[in-house]
Amino acid sequence: MLATLVPLFYEDMSVASYCLYAQKENMFENPHLLAAGKYDGAGSIVGIEVFESISEDDLVANCDIIIPINNISLFANIEQQLTGFDGRIVLLMDHTIKPEDSYKKRLHDLKSKGFKLGIKDLPINSLEEYKAMLDDFDLFLVNADSGDIVEQTQAFKKVLPKMTFCAENLHSKEEFDKAKDSGLFKIFEGTFFRVPINTQDTEVTPIKINYMKLMTVINQSDFDLEDVANVVAQDPALSIELLKIANKLTINSNIRSINQATALLGQKEIRRWLNTTLFHELAAGKPNEITRLSLIRARFAENLAPAFDYAMRKDELFLMGLFSLLNLILDMPMEDALNQVGVSAEIKKALVNDDGIFSPQLEFLLSYEAGDWQEVSRLMVLQDIEMHVVYDAYVEALKWYGDMFIE
């Protein structure tokens, strides 16, 4: 099984919800999934096992969880399969669920049990047919790839004036701004938040310059632990964050000083965790999801290192994932951003030119996050990677993020 959680945002870029994207089998090893067999086993909701491995605390507090359903899984034991996240589950129906009495009755029953309801990919010419059923619904996703999203939603809103609308598949900042400025949408989804903004002013504040200088030092092949400890000790916020991480990593050690922390952790762990802590500080003022995505991507890349035959270079892969959105954090081209922090040539090749030995794994990470299961399946076949290895690596990354960075 493959599963990923895709964020949806409010207009202030705080997370509104996460949508579960899942695939039960490798599509290239099981080509029937591309045809009528794609609903095999649909009596159970594919991907919900991910919630058995992580806690509610591993996700943004109070955000909704969107679970896609179809005409088969709608009649499964949803109430037993989806426990927890009380009042936060949105069941997202597709076009296979028709405005017929059996479906209406089942949806009304689920609504009465505390589930929210959503719909996506509804053609405008089918709206009148669905209108009565949609009275119970909470969320309507409008696809920007299907035409002018503002015009589409204006037509939907005339019939459903009280509906909450989500602008889906926004690929650029311009598309996001247009949707936001229309005032029609409360929620937004797409890759727009990962697209760099072209600005002439790339000035970096003095404190961030100091952080980047420190990153350059620790990313050298060898550095003096005591020198690093002395620099960190001069920054109270940085000291507190590093002590938190050190105490989490070393159970029952009760670390009380930066010198003690650096000595106990050693170069390898200090490099990793100081990069992580400094990255957190550099990302201040940016959407929290960029930080979360970077950290989960870093751990996911590290976990997959053995599968890509780079177990001995997993620390580099961690940094590749961590810095893969550094251009957004610093508002400058990726090459310039990487020059500020000091990374290996192979990391630069992958992140700047989509080239080099790490490029295939970066492509895999990006495809997985987007829920592009056809491309993920293709890459798993090419790399001879088992599906359970990928799924376990992703779930562990989610859990790691929750354990390390969510209070």
pLDDT in tens, 201-255: 455 566 677 777 788 888 877 888 888 888 777 777 777 777 777 777 666 666 7
Q: How far is CA 268 from CA 53, 151, 215, 222, 256, in A?
A: 28, 54, 13, 10, 20
Q: Does position 348 have pLDDT exceeding 90, yes or no? A: yes
CB 141, CB 92: distance < 8 Å:
yes
CB 82, CB 114: distance < 8 Å:
no
Q: What DSSP letter does each residue of 188-257 carry, written as one string?
A: E-SGGGGSPP--S-----HHHHHHHHHHHHHTSSS--HHHHHHHHHT-HHHHHHHHHHHHHHSTT----S
Is pLDDT larger for residue 391 or for residue 271?
391
CB 142, CB 154: distance < 8 Å:
no
Q: What percent of the chain has pLDDT over 90?
A: 40
- d(C-alpha 170, C-alpha 195), whole Å: 11
Q: Does position 197 have pLDDT exceeding 60, yes or no? A: no
Q: Which of these, 279, 293, 278, 119, lies nearest to 193 by C-alpha position? A: 293
Q: Mean pLDDT throughout 79-103?
A: 85
What is the pLDDT at residue 37? 40
The pTM of the full predicted model, rounded to 2 decimals, is 0.81
What is the pLDDT at residue 297? 94
* Range with lowest mean pLDDT among 19-23, 78-82, 314-318, 391-395: 78-82
What is the pLDDT at residue 35? 42
Q: Does position 194 have pLDDT exceeding 60, yes or no? A: yes
- d(C-alpha 190, C-alpha 171), whole Å: 6
What is the pLDDT at residue 79? 81
Q: Does position 41 have pLDDT exceeding 50, yes or no? A: no
CB 274, CB 218: distance < 8 Å:
yes
Is pLDDT larger for residue 350 or for residue 42?
350
pLDDT in tens, 142-188: 999 999 999 999 999 999 999 999 999 999 989 999 999 999 999 99
What is the pLDDT at residue 283? 79
Q: Does position 8 have pLDDT exceeding 50, yes or no? A: yes
Q: Does position 282 have pLDDT exceeding 70, yes or no? A: yes
Q: Mean pLDDT throughout 53-70?
A: 76
- d(C-alpha 403, C-alpha 146), whole Å: 40
Residue 25: pLDDT band with limits 50, 70, 90: low
Q: Which of these, 142, 130, 137, 132, lies nearest to 163 by C-alpha position? A: 137
Radius of gyration of the chain (CA): 23
CB 295, CB 322: distance < 8 Å:
yes
Q: Which of these, 2, 139, 130, lies nearest to 65 by C-alpha position? A: 139
- Say how many C-beta atoms besides its own lie within 10 A of residue 368's C-beta: 25
- d(C-alpha 376, C-alpha 385), whole Å: 10
What is the pLDDT at residue 169? 93
- d(C-alpha 391, C-alpha 155), whole Å: 40
Both tokens assigned to 12: 């202030």
Q: Is 187 helix (H, G, I), strand (E, B) or coil?
A: strand
The burial of 11, by beta-carbon neighbours within 10 Å (0-12 exposed, 13-18 middle, 19 or more buried), is given as middle
Task: Give the residue extent of every domain in the chain.
Answer: 2-194, 206-405
pLDDT in tens, 110-125: 999 999 999 998 888 8
What is the pLDDT at residue 30? 52
Q: Does position 287 have pLDDT exceeding 70, yes or no? A: yes
Which residue has tokens 């000083």?
257
- d(C-alpha 196, C-alpha 332), whole Å: 8
- d(C-alpha 13, C-alpha 112), whole Å: 31
What is the pLDDT at residue 34? 43
Q: What percent of the chain has pLDDT over 70?
A: 86
- Say how many C-beta atoms besides its own lie within 10 A of residue 268's C-beta: 9
Q: How far is CA 302 from CA 117, 312, 329, 359, 397, in A?
A: 37, 10, 21, 14, 9
pLDDT in tens, 323-332: 999 888 888 8
What is the pLDDT at residue 38? 43
235: Cβ contacts below 8 Å, ≥ 6 apart? 210
Q: Does position 368 have pLDDT exceeding 90, yes or no? A: yes
* Range with lowest mean pLDDT among 12-26, 63-77, 132-146, 257-271: 257-271
Which residue has tokens 């996703």?
141
Q: Is CATH 3.20.20.450 what the domain over 2-194 is classified as, yes or no?
A: yes
